[in-house]
Amino acid sequence: MQLGRKTLTAVVTGTLGVTLLAGAAATSWAAPAKTPAPAAAHPGARGVPDPTTATLRQLARHTKLEIGTAIDTAALRNDATYREIAAREFSSVTPENVMKWYATEPQRGQFDFTEAEQLMAFAAANRQKVRGHVLVWHSQLPAWLTEGTWTRAELRSILRQHILTVAGHFRGRIWAWDVVNEAFNDDGTLRDTIWLRTIGPSYIADAFRWAHQADPKAILFYNDYNVEGINAKSNAVYALLRQLKREGVPVEGFGAQGHLATQYGFPRDVLENLRRFGRLGLATAITEADVRIVLPVDNAERWAQAAGYSLMLESCLLERSCISYTVWGFTDRYQWVPGVFPEEGEAAIYDVNYNPKPARDAMARDLALAPHSGRRG
Ligand code: XIL
């Protein structure tokens, strides 16, 4: 365990080559001279499966970290290879879209859980935890909601009813909920949304209270992007969550989405940032990891991408509050980036033909090198 933790620390601090060489030397000196190891996979000195053949979820088992992916339910229905890899590689899943407001309450008071239940059935069949996503957000709202004119009391009641109904419907089956998503601007001020404008900042605390009332066992997360490292935005989220905890509001987790781009470089203080949220008594998670690249892509960029995935995964593995690491789609075949960032793409860990990329192998390596942990469950 001690060796594992040291090894991983060294990787994070950037002495990867040295660490791997040192590890290899130790292994070969320790091995009996005349009996070469059999080719078949065996647990090995670290007690983990062979990282060149094992799946991510097998490699993650000893770390107690859940390795997840966002799931596109259309792909789940239509693509057998997609289903096979989603089941094989991941111990947790997040619906990419089908638990969002436009999908679950398309008309006022009329709820539809058909697609969300397909995701739930897949997860149950494959013994995967489910991260519910998302109860309160400013985006992907139905037209009846955004185009209506509401008093404060009306909108507050609509929000309350939505949270109680959706979280109540899945009560006991959701491992963690993203309760409030993207409530801050990058400068640390609260984002101007329908919720803030009409209800005021109290909508955040109320959302957590209602979610807790509807599903007391789910771990309730605040989730945002550009909060992986320490900056004005993550400072503001930190201040809010600390305040909410003091007031006894049932906020239980901090999720950093983890949408990185090779062209901007990566924050170097992800571990330190997760750690300060962990010290508040919160669970932490990387909830939507992907690393987009300016097209066309070359191998150096693919390696940079692998470093981005790895930086976040290693940080999560080293911080015991970090309970899950989720990629936002595992294949470039169905990836949201090209639709939103026109010049960029190829952000996932498998390519369009389901070949694993260096990023997927970096994740396997990180998991194999990780210490057996006392991670909170
Ligand atoms: C994205 C989905 O991946 C797309 O399919 C959809 O068109 C838009 O939303 N932050 C979030 C996610 O919290 O819900 C977003 O998902 C990506 C950014």
Q: What is the pLDDT of residues 302-314, one digit of tens each?
A: 999 999 999 999 9
pLDDT band of 298, cuts 50, 70, 90: very high
| C-alpha closest to that of 216 among 284, 164, 281, 159 | 164
Widest CA span of the chain, in angstroms?
80
Which of 72, 73, 98, 139, when mutated, tests ligand 1's pocket best, judged by the most ligand atoms within 8 Å of its CB? 139
pLDDT of residue 327 exceeding 50, the answer is yes
Candidate from 10-19, 152-161, 243-252, 353-362 with smallest mean pLDDT: 10-19
Average of per-residue pLDDT across 316-321:
97
pLDDT band of 20, cuts 50, 70, 90: very low
pLDDT of residue 17: 31
Where in the chain are the domains?
37-369
Ligand 1, residue 181: give the atom nearest the CA. 13
CA of 13 to the centre of ligand 1 (A): 32
Candidate from 16-30, 167-181, 239-253 with smallest mean pLDDT: 16-30
- Alpha-carbon Rg of the chain, whole angstroms? 21
Averaged confidence pLDDT in the chain: 90
Candidate from 11-15, 140-144, 153-157 with smallest mean pLDDT: 11-15
CA of 12 to the centre of ligand 1 (A): 29
What is the distance between the alpha carbons of residues 96 and 326, in angstroms, rounded to a whole number? 11
**340-368: string of b/e by CB count within 10 Å (b at 16+)?**
eeeebbbbbbbbeeeebbbbbebbbbbbb
pLDDT of residue 43: 57
Which tens digit of pLDDT belongs to each residue from 209-239? 999 999 999 999 999 999 999 999 999 999 9
pLDDT of residue 376: 60
What is the distance between the alpha carbons of residues 255 and 261, in angstroms, rounded to a whole number? 18
pLDDT of residue 44: 67
CA of 328 to the centre of ligand 1 (A): 8
Residues forming beta bridges with residue 285, ordered by sequence position: 255, 324
pLDDT of residue 157 exceeding 90, the answer is yes
pLDDT of residue 371: 80
Ligand 1, residue 339: give the atom nearest the CA. 7
pLDDT of residue 95 exceeding 90, the answer is yes
CATH topology for 37-369 is: TIM Barrel (3.20.20)
Closest-CA residue, ligand 1 atom 5, reads 336
Average of per-residue pLDDT across 116-139:
98
